[in-house]
Amino acid sequence: MIKQRTQKPGGRKWSRERYVPKRKVCSFCSDKVELIDYKEPSKLRRYLSDRGKIEPRRRTGACARHQRALAVAIKRARHLALLPYVAAHIPKVGAFAQSS
């Protein structure tokens, strides 16, 4: 007796070709940033998710050294209330949001 396999709906086949993303270069390295300034929340804001979390390396594209420095800078900025700790503290869409 042959057991019938239950086919999952929407099961995707993996193509022969692998998904090869473009090799990201650390933006801080290319800009030769030695020190990431925690006093510039407008710059650091880009590295926070919409929920106020620090973006992972695969999103920021930063190298290990700069990702660590970035995390420290964001944490310092949070302590000074320049950046939000939680999503509830992120200002709603308006003149104050994202820009500056």
Residues that bind Zn ion (CB under 5 A): 26, 28-29, 63, 66
The least distance separating Zn ion from the CB of residue 32, rounded to whole angstroms, comes to: 9
Q: CB of 44: closest distance to Zn ion in angstroms? A: 15
Rg, C-alpha atoms of the chain: 20
Largest Cα–Cα separation, the chain: 70
- Closer to Zn ion by CB, 28 or 48: give it: 28
Q: Please identify, using beta-carbon distances, which residue of 63 and 82 lies nearer to Zn ion.
A: 63
The residue number whose beta carbon is nearest to Zn ion equals 26
Per the structure block, which two tokens stand in for 72?
């420290």
Q: How far is the CB of 54 from Zn ion (least distance, A)?
A: 15
Contact 29, 63 (CB under 8 A): yes
The rounded distance, in Å, linking the Cα atoms of 97 and 35 is 26
